[in-house]
Structure 1
Amino acid sequence: MAIRRLHADAIGMLLGGVLDAVFGDPRRWHPVAGFGRFAGAVERRTYADDRAAGARFTLVAVGAPVLVAAATAWLTRRRPIARTLVVAGATWAALGGTSLAREGRVMADRLDGGDLDSARAQLPNLCGRDPSALGAPELARATVESVAENTSDAVVGPLFWGAVAGLPGIVGYRAVNTLDAMVGHRSARYARFGTASARLDDLANLVPSRVTAALTVAAAPAVGGRPGEALRVWLRDGGRHPSPNSGQCEAAAAGALGIRLGGRNVYGSRVEHRPHLGDGGPPAPRDVRRAATLSVVVGAAALGLACALRAGAARRRAKPTGVGLRGEGAA
Structure 2
Amino acid sequence: MTSATIVAMCAYVLDTILGDPQTRWHPVALLGRLIAWLERMLYPTHGGNERRLAMGAVLTALILCFSYGAAECILIAARQLPVSWGVDAVSVILLYFTISPHMLGKAGRDIYALLAAGNLPAARERVAWIVGRDTANLDESDVARAVIETIAENTVDGVIAPLFFFAIGGVPLAVLYRAANTMDSMIGYKNDRYLYFGRMAARVDDVLGFVPARITGMLFVMAAFLLRCDARNAMYIMARDAAGHPSPNGGYAEAPVAGALHIRLGGENYYFGERHFRAYMGDAHVDIRPKHILGAVRLMNTATVLYLLFYYIFSLYV
Indicate the structure whose relative CO is greater, using CA pairs within 8 Å and at least 6 residues apart: 1
SS in 1 for 2:248: coil
SS in 1 for 2:236: helix
1:276-287 equivalences in 2 (<5 Å): 276-279=280-283, 280-287=285-292
Structure 1: distance between partners of 2:213 and 2:21: 25
Of 109, 114, 121, the match for 1:117: 121
Structure 2: distance between partners of 1:269 and 1:64: 36
Deviations 1:30-61, CA, capped at 9 Å, x for gaps: 11111112222222222226101000000001
SS in 2 for 1:302: helix
Is the 1:210–1:248 contact (alpha carbons within 8 Å) kept by the matching residues of 2? yes
Of 17, 20, 38, the match for 2:15: 20
Q: Report the counterpart of residue 63 of structure 1 in structure 2.
A: 65
1:78-227 equivalences in 2 (<5 Å): 80-227=84-231
SS in 2 for 1:37: helix
Is the 1:232–1:255 contact (alpha carbons within 8 Å) kept by the matching residues of 2? yes
Of 15, 18, 28, the match for 1:32: 28
SS in 2 for 1:276: strand
Of 268, 279, 287, the match for 2:272: 268
Structure 1: distance between partners of 2:36 and 2:256: 35
Structure 2: distance between partners of 1:156 and 1:285: 25
Q: How far apart are residue 165 of structure 1 and its match?
A: 0.4
One-letter amino acid matched to 1:8: S
Deviations 1:72-108, CA, capped at 9 Å, x for gaps: 4455568751221121011111111111011111111
The runs of 5 or more residues in structure 1 that have no matched partner are 1-5, 317-331
Structure 1: distance between partners of 2:5 and 2:22: 25
Distance 1:307 1:197, change over 3 A: farther
Structure 2: distance between partners of 1:25 and 1:306: 23
Q: Report the counterpart of residue 243 of structure 1 in structure 2.
A: 247
Is the 1:230–1:252 contact (alpha carbons within 8 Å) kept by the matching residues of 2? yes
Is the 1:110–1:119 contact (alpha carbons within 8 Å) kept by the matching residues of 2? yes
Q: Report the counterpart of residue 320 of structure 1 in structure 2.
A: none
Aligned length: 308
Q: How far apart are residue 71 of structure 1 and its match?
A: 3.4
Structure 2: distance between partners of 1:282 and 1:149: 20
Distance 1:73 1:13, change over 3 A: same
Structure 2: distance between partners of 1:134 and 1:128: 13
Q: How far apart are residue 68 of structure 1 and its match?
A: 2.0
Is the 2:188–2:199 contact (alpha carbons within 8 Å) kept by the matching residues of 1? yes
Structure 1: distance between partners of 2:87 and 2:311: 17
SS in 2 for 1:271: strand
SS in 2 for 1:265: strand
One-letter amino acid matched to 1:224: R
One-letter amino acid matched to 1:7: T
Structure 1 length normalisation: TM-score?
0.88
Structure 2 length normalisation: TM-score?
0.91
Structure 2: distance between partners of 1:163 and 1:308: 13
One-letter amino acid matched to 1:292: V
SS in 1 for 2:85: helix
Does residue 300 (structure 1) correspond to residue 296 (structure 2)? The answer is: no
Percent of residue pairs identical: 34
Is the 1:223–1:290 contact (alpha carbons within 8 Å) kept by the matching residues of 2? no
Structure 1: distance between partners of 2:287 and 2:202: 30
The runs of 5 or more residues in structure 2 that have no matched partner are 45-50
Does residue 7 (structure 1) correspond to residue 2 (structure 2)? The answer is: yes
Deviations 1:171-213, CA, capped at 9 Å, x for gaps: 1011001111111122322111100000000011001111111
